[in-house]
Amino acid sequence: MDTLFLIIFGIVWFVFAYFWYGNIIKNKVLRSTNQNLTPSHTLFDNKDYVPTKPIVLFGHHFSTIAGAGPIIGPILAYSYFGWLPALLWILLGSVFIGAVHDYTSLITSVRNKGYSIVNIAGKVVSSRASILFSIFVFLTLILVEAVFADLTAKTLLQQPEIAIPTFGLIPIAIFFALLQNRLKLNVYLATLISLALLGILIQVGEIIPIRANYDFWLTIILIYCFAASTLPVWLLLQPRDYISMYILVIGITLGYLGIIFLNPKIQGPSYIGFIHEQGPLFPMLFITIACGAISGFHSLIASGTSAKQLDKESHGKFIAFGSMLTEGALAFLVIMMVISVLPFNGDPNNSFLGILTNKNAQIVFGTALGLTIQSLGIPATFGISFGILMLNAFILTSLDSSTRLSRYIVQETLGFQFGGIFKNKYFSTAIVVILVFLVCKSGGYAKIWSVFGSANQLIGTLALFVVTNYLLGVKAPKWYTLLPAFFMLVVTEVALIYQLIYLYLPKFDILLVLISSSLIILGLIVALEAISKVLTNKVPFVQIQESTEP
């Protein structure tokens, strides 16, 4: 089968879904209107709460949510179960679950002073649910940050050519912010100048690779994360993620054009089997492919940083719904490339399973992208290097924003409870960075990473229940979020129970047994509290304050 038909179908589906289902959620469920002032205006402080141009906020939001997940997850799922189940979950999950989850989390936060979804749980579910949710999310974020920091440090260690463009992007981002916010230069002109400077840095990096040891890179990365978390959002975090977006968009565009011009035949198996050593297709497919369909991390970004920067409610669909569908389109492209330009098995250096087994999923993606864009006259070696740079950009943008999110959680929980030093952004960020450093140096995250997929999806599940309770409170339709919440609750609980019984207990791995058991209980407690409010209709009515736009 040629890939051209599937590629065209995928593009049409994502565009159609954006206007069709996106408008249903916007107009029928959220009843979004610009009469509702956003926190970026009502709580403006020019640090965390800053009204932001839609294209800039889209860049920040998309770059942050698009970690390595939409690339690594589809590759692993294809190797486990075949490309057809993976493709169906990406196409359906990203629209009916993921985009709804992201968009409703954003607007729910916008209408609650830009607070995170874990804080809002205390208002629409219960204080106990909020406390449990906060602890769970904070610990999960520390794990995510440790893994991303470690992966970035190791990438810089192995690919010293990307060190200069990776860190050179920081002064470029600050320069872009000053051009746009202080000199009031047109955003697109400022973007062109910044991208030109980045292009020069990429060339310089090839000529002057920076070599250093792991500890040096890890320290530099965490210093950057501290700065990105504490500096005004418009000065570093936001512009850096915005400029990074263009690396990602260029890569996605080249990939789609390459597949269209090349039109290769599908070489991989559509279906391998229901049972794999990692677990059965249900529920493990839905845990393996997270970011390409739904990811709990997205609700934390939407309700943690993006909600504080949204200029108008009407921009929410473009920012959140649009970003999730773009991420779904990336996951879709990854599947299309690896099933067509790479033979499934054979040469250990040139086949899909050979590269995945002997190297890793990152190299699989880089190789597939290089071979795909060869049809555009671009050397395969450049495509492979560009693919690795894309992945590094994805990871670092998720890392800096998750550090800021962790700081918010400390301030919104311990800060509200005890006040004093816990409200201080420097102290709160220092707690986060030190914990991440300790976890990285201990190497303990490697042991508990296997449970992260389920933990991440559990965050998304609980976010959907919290949003459902909010929607009930404003007398809005609940089924668009409640049905996905029930589905994801079954998926995550079954996955955790399966991992507990078949993977952790037989090995007598006490740590993982305790973690997975705790997650099972935590998820059920928070979900049951939310469900009981829904079934008994005891959700407090929430009045949306309306006022004229400034």
Q: How far is CA 509 from CA 121, 144, 270, 312, 499, in A?
A: 32, 21, 35, 49, 11
Buried/exposed 480-489: b ≥16 CB within 10 Å, e otherwise:
bbbebbbbbb
Q: Which two tokens stand for residue 47?
A: 């640090």
Whether the pLDDT of residue 180 is over 90: the answer is no
Whether the pLDDT of residue 550 is over 50: the answer is no
Peptide bond preceding 283 in cis form (omega within 30 of 0): yes
Q: Which two tokens stand for residue 167?
A: 């860190």
pLDDT at 549: 36
Whether the pLDDT of residue 543 is over 60: the answer is no
Residue 99 and residue 251: Cα distance in Å, rounded? 22
Residue 379 and residue 353: Cα distance in Å, rounded? 23
Residue 294 and residue 484: Cα distance in Å, rounded? 10
pLDDT at 538: 59
How many other C-beta atoms lie within 10 A of the C-beta of residue 545?
A: 9
Residue 346 and residue 341: Cα distance in Å, rounded? 13
- Beta-carbon contacts of residue 308 (< 8 Å; ≥ 6 apart): 39, 40, 43, 48, 49, 50, 114, 233
Whether the pLDDT of residue 446 is over 80: the answer is no
Residue scoring higher pLDDT (446 or 406) = 406
Give how far the C-alpha of residue 70 lies from the chain's centroid of Cα atoms, to the nearest Å.
Answer: 8
**pLDDT (tens digit, 9 = 90+) per residue, 13-39?**
999 999 999 999 999 999 998 888 899
Question: Could you tell me whether strands 275-276 and 279-280 are parallel, antiparallel, or unpaired per DSSP bridges?
Answer: antiparallel
**Mean pLDDT for the chain?**
88
Q: What DSSP line would sit under 413-455, residue for residue?
A: IIIHHH-GGGG-HHHHHHHHHHHHHHHHHHTTHHHHGGGHHHH
**pLDDT (tens digit, 9 = 90+) per residue, 337-392?**
999 999 998 877 789 999 888 877 878 888 899 899 988 888 887 777 777 777 77
Q: Which two tokens stand for residue 140?
A: 């999960």
Residue 489 and residue 339: Cα distance in Å, rounded? 31
- Beta-carbon contacts of residue 315 (< 8 Å; ≥ 6 apart): 54, 57
What domains does the chain contain, in order, with CATH numbers?
4-536 (1.20.1740.10)
Phi, psi angle pair for 67, to nearest 5°: -75, -155
**Which range, 143-147, 154-158, 378-382, 490-494, is most confident?**
490-494
Q: How far is CA 156 from CA 164, 240, 418, in A?
A: 10, 18, 40
- H/E segment holding residue 325: helix 322-338
Vertex 21, ends 122 and 76: CA angle to 5°? 80
| pTM of the complete model beyond 0.85 | yes
Residue 357 and residue 363: Cα distance in Å, rounded? 11
pLDDT at 539: 57
Whether the pLDDT of residue 99 is over 50: the answer is yes
pLDDT at 326: 95
User: Are 490 and 527 spatial neighbours (Cβ–Cβ below 8 Å)?
Assistant: no
**pLDDT (tens digit, 9 = 90+) per residue, 185-228?**
888 899 999 999 988 988 888 888 899 998 999 999 999 999 98
- Beta-carbon contacts of residue 310 (< 8 Å; ≥ 6 apart): 38, 39, 40, 51, 52, 57, 106, 110, 316, 319
Please return the burial class of 140, using the count of CB atoms within 10 Å of its CB with bins 0-12, 13-18 and 19+.
Answer: buried
First-last CA distance in the chain: 55
